[in-house]
Amino acid sequence: MAVGELDIDRLRAGYTPTRGELVRTVILMSIPMILSEISVQVISYIDAGMVGSLGPVASASVGLVNTSVWLMSGMCFCVSMGFNVQIAQLVGAGRHDEARGVLRQSMIVSLLFGLAMMAIGLAIAEPLPHWLGGAPETWAGARDYFFWFSITMPLWALNRVFAGGLQCSGDMETPSRLTIAACVLDVVFNALLIFPGIDFSLGSLAIHIPGAGLGVPGAALGTVLADTCATLGMGLALLVRSPILALKLGGSWRLRRTCLQGATKIAAPMFLERIAMNFALVVLTVFVSPLGTNALAAHSLSITAEGVCYMPGFGIAAAATTLVGQAVGADRKDIAKRFSDASLVLGMVLMGVMGVLLFIFAPAIMALLTPDETVRALGVTALRIEAFAEPLYAASIVGVGIFRGVGDTFIPSVIGLATVWIIRLPMAWFLAPRIGLAGIWLGMATELIVRGIVFLVRIRRGRWLETSVIS
């Protein structure tokens, strides 16, 4: 099976690719995911701008529960990743029947987990804005946004299974295209659901398209509809059309202990990290809330704005997981190390360039997201602080993808938790009352720089290559 321009069968047989082939493969595998991640972020700019046009209260309502939304979706990702790493290594080893068996088990476990997340989300939607310390005027919007997001949890869990299965089998283009399509649909649905109507002119003809006028809940519903379309498309591509993982009649759906143990070994550290990390982000939101609605809105919009910088890193990390995982499955750890080095350099260079652009264009970016001058000014300061952290943030993002490829998730999780709780939160707690929102973001930037340095040291030592999740 070919990945990029390399043939995994030849790799298993002992072929050693040239440096040019390695780099070309990393780039070819990364491009679809980078474009997908960037499109997601650009569309999120548009979404944020739509909500921001309703005023700071609307932006603050979404920002208040965003960390909780990330927690729930992140946990679904962790569950699916526990199986996807096994799929990547089994594909690399040429054991396709076993890979399809892992996929079936992934679907069952992830769907059940998504249903559990939905039940929890619906149960806490009402009190959550109160718990997070939001201003009373943000409670209703935050509650409704979180409620509709929670309903999508089973769908989102399957989305992660389908997208991850395609990527780990070497197909990066299909999930990328469907994700981009979902982003476009998200904008269309949001426009129709958030606003009471859309008016535009076509020559001398004035056209009015009626909308639902739902405000903040409309943003959540628009995302629900777009994600539904993407999930159906990915399911069709993986389960019916994939040359490697399409499910065939007669395959077993029985859960197997060895597979579940392997998934738990990978997912459990990630799962605990997400809980602790997102709890830290919730604590960070609690630090921001006393600074006022404008600061909370600026914080939320700045996170959205900064996201375009690290999307290349996440795209390259996804490619690194597949390439490293398949190389390890093919018993070519020497190639896995070379894939990791090429991915790391590419990620740091791209995110370094994005950091420079973020610093220069911060005022223009914030102007796209909100008409409020106070919110804009706060956001520009936050973005320019964060711009300095982007290259080393890339080292940790891509590093996580590299380590996941071999099934090494415990130590990276410990590193991330340690730096957030020892550096980011104490600095935010100390600086926020003294210098406001800038103190929050100074703590974030410092923590990301330190985390990146630690990841670089660990990747350089190479001990992670001794890990594997298949036998």
**pLDDT tens over the chain, length 471 residues:** 444 445 677 777 777 787 888 888 888 888 887 877 776 666 666 666 777 677 777 777 877 787 788 778 888 888 998 999 899 889 888 888 999 999 999 999 999 999 999 999 999 999 998 887 777 888 888 888 889 889 989 988 999 999 999 988 888 889 889 988 888 888 888 888 888 766 666 666 667 677 777 877 787 788 888 888 999 999 999 999 998 899 876 678 889 999 999 889 888 888 888 777 777 877 887 888 889 888 988 888 888 788 778 888 888 998 898 888 888 888 888 888 999 999 999 999 999 999 999 999 999 989 888 888 999 999 999 999 999 999 999 999 999 999 988 888 889 989 988 999 999 999 999 999 999 999 999 999 999 999 999 999 999 888 888 876 766
Cβ atoms of 66 and 303 closer than 8 Å: yes
- Neighbouring residues of 6: CB distance < 8 A, sequence distance ≥ 6: 17, 21, 22, 25
List the one residue out of 161, 164, 215 whose CA is nearest residue 192.
215
- Please tell me the distance from the alpha carbon of residue 107 to that of residue 104, in angstroms, as a whole number: 5
Specify which residues 7 forms β-bridges with.
Answer: 2
Mapped onto helix, strand or coil, the DSSP state of residue 109 is helix
Give burial (CB, 10 Å; 0-12/13-18/19+) of 65.
buried
- Please tell me the distance from the alpha carbon of residue 353 to that of residue 350, in angstroms, as a whole number: 5
What's the chain's Rg over C-alpha atoms?
A: 22
Please state the pTM of the whole predicted model: 0.78
Q: What's the token pair of residue 185? A: 């649909």
- Please tell me the distance from the alpha carbon of residue 295 to that of residue 198, in angstroms, as a whole number: 30
- Please tell me the distance from the alpha carbon of residue 364 to that of residue 296, in angstroms, as a whole number: 20
Specify which residues 6 forms β-bridges with.
Answer: 3
Mapped onto helix, strand or coil, the DSSP state of residue 95 is coil
